[in-house]
Amino acid sequence: MTRILTFLCSFLSVVFVYAQDYDDYIGSGHASGITVTSSNSTDNTDALNTINGNGMDAEKMEAARFLYQAGFGSSLDDVNQVLNLGFEEWIDQQMALPKTEYLEDLLATWDYIRNVYLSSGYYEEEDLFGPAQVHWHYVWWDNVMTEPDQLRQKVAFALSQLLVISGNNTDLAGHGEALSSYYDLLMTNAFGNYKDLLYDISVNMSMGFYLSHLNNPKADPDNNIHPDENFAREIMQLFSIGVYEINMDGSYKTDNNGQLIQTYDLNDIRELAKVFTGLGPGAITDMVTWVDEPYFGLGIYGGDNTVPMKMYEDYHETEAKTMFGGQYTIPANQPGLVDIEQAINILFNHPNTAPFVSQSLIQRMIKSNPSPQYIQRVAEVFADNGEGVRGDLKAVIKAILLDDEARSCSSWSDENNGMLKEPILRLTQLLKAVNIELGELPNYWHNSYDFANDLDQSPLYSPSVFNFYQPDYKFDGNLNGPEFQILNTVTTANYFNMVRNWTQWSYITSDWERDYYYDEALDEDVRIFGYNHTSIDEAWAIDKLETIGLEDFMNELDVLLSHGNLSDEMRQTIKEGSEMFNWGTYQTAMYMVYFIMVSPDFMILK
């Protein structure tokens, strides 16, 4: 199949380049008055489709592949929309959409949950705790599945794995509003400027708590107090310039002895740590009754996690700070926020930042091993969007998605090309590809902890600031394969079992709102929220198989799930395997979905 698609792309490219106006040729859309026969005599074979183009799925496969890269998967309607608009116009329309508001949706969701519990008579106000991380998960899954701004949300998801905070083993798990506010920050800046994004995360309460520069005081040697260096190190190592100097194409620079050149040293960390002193809560919550205004030292339980930190000048280090071997000096006695702005400006304009960030985003959206040329093309757009602006993420994202290396079919047959799909995105892709039957509540609430426990991934739940996997993790000693770092015998078996639950037991996403109360009128226990989970629509699956047949149903799933990547061998294996389970039309359809979802042709994005 890959060879066929490569041939089709090459053929179409030649046609587009050399096409002229003729009225005496045949081809797609020009079969009028021409008789076409076929050696295949099956009932559902139309020989005319060979000529008029209706039987060719290459464009649909490419559109579905694009929608996975630029979003979370697609339906046939989504694919047709892209084909009607074209890739660039679709991107432009997506970038013009208003952004989904995660904090607003979280608070509305929590109010609804809270009111249902209270009205049941089963809970009192003091019994309820929220909004917490599980409620943030509800909102994330529901928004990803229902809101139209798919590209912005995909970029925010990619950024969340570059600029990491996490509720995993941290007190942020109890603060859904903190997680939602941080995600709103990523959503806001997804099409903004990377310099603004670096500044915004630096003064964000969640980041301040996670990397410990919230309430970070200036040095007090007499009391053995020194500025915390955690955020200063990570904003360089992980968020901007990386550990070693690199060229615009992502390759490492070396010194005269052939050794890698470090971008910063311990002194740079210490100097930059001074910059991030004096930041404390910007506001307080209703929980704080003993003071009238925020103060330095108040943490995330009393500080308002939805507003940026503010500078407390008495706790800010005012001496001059020098960086990178004295190349840059931040003057003494400036306001603390000015120090931060200048430090961010130094990192933002560092020659490493453009290729470092560009490669990181390519790896999260397109492929694990982008070519040096691809990295450089995107990095040059980061350095200058064509209008003299550096760090324009709108231009960077468009460059990533429209680059020939992302769009060309030739890369499908390149053994170095591709990436292992993230566990979360495998499920979003399924949810968008098939018809879903919602539970008693019309939403996609998902507690998401099965992903965290079984597959080692869940939104804003990485085990450390280094994300779920290292960007340079090599699964074969040569090629980068970040996602392979969480693919092992345990997570593989868990994934197979999870897909079985999705397809065979009609159990995909579900919430944790499952408490019961005794209803005196009914004389029985009643579930407060009803039975709320999503499943694949049985009637839809049966109709598909009975209407278009097993072969065409597999073709449709190949378009939406594996983007034409199913090999002839795999197709035959899936067909035979699905037919073996002769327990009814629905089960046959579900086994076909199952076999595709666990196949390497689906798991690897080419």
Secondary structure (DSSP) of 13-66: HHHHHH----SS---TT--TT-----S---TT--TTHHHHSTT--HHHHHHHHH
Residue type, 279: L
Nearest CA to 509 out of 431, 583, 579, 576 is that of 431
Q: For the chain, list residues with pLDDT below 70.
A: 1-56, 411, 516-518
Q: What is the CA radius of gyration of the chain?
A: 27
Strand partners of residue 303: 284
Strand partners of residue 254: 260
Q: What is the DSSP letter of 171?
A: G
Measured distance CA(300)–CA(177) in Å, rounded: 11
Q: Can you point out the beta strands (E) in 432-501?
A: 436-437
3-class secondary-structure state, position 291: coil
Q: What integer pLDDT is reported at residue 521 of this predicted model?
A: 78
Measured distance CA(512)–CA(529) in Å, rounded: 10
Measured distance CA(21)–CA(451) in Å, rounded: 55
Cα 516-521-522 angle, rounded to 5 deg: 60
Please answer whether residues 378 and 369 qualify as being in contact, where contact means their C-beta atoms are separated by less than 8 angstroms: no
Residue type, 314: D
Residue type, 327: Q
Helix boundaries (H) for 227-335: 230-237, 266-275
The crossing angle, in degrees rounded to 10, of helices 58-70 and 2-18 is: 100
3-class secondary-structure state, position 477: coil
Is 400 exposed, middle or buried (CB count within 10 Å of its CB: 0-12, 13-18, 19+)? buried
Q: Can you point out the beta strands (E) in 346-415?
A: none
DSSP H or E segment with residue 430: helix 423-433
3-class secondary-structure state, position 163: coil
Measured distance CA(430)–CA(501) in Å, rounded: 13
Q: What is the DSSP letter of 255?
A: -
What's the token pair of residue 80? Answer: 């047709």
Phi, psi of 406 (to 5 degrees): -85, -30
Please answer whether residues 390 and 384 qualify as being in contact, where contact means their C-beta atoms are separated by less than 8 angstroms: yes
Measured distance CA(504)–CA(510) in Å, rounded: 16
Helix boundaries (H) for 71-124: 76-85, 87-96, 102-119
3-class secondary-structure state, position 241: coil
3-class secondary-structure state, position 521: coil
Q: What integer pLDDT is reported at residue 124 of this predicted model?
A: 87
Q: What integer pLDDT is reported at residue 302 of this predicted model?
A: 93
What's the token pair of residue 12? Answer: 């179409």
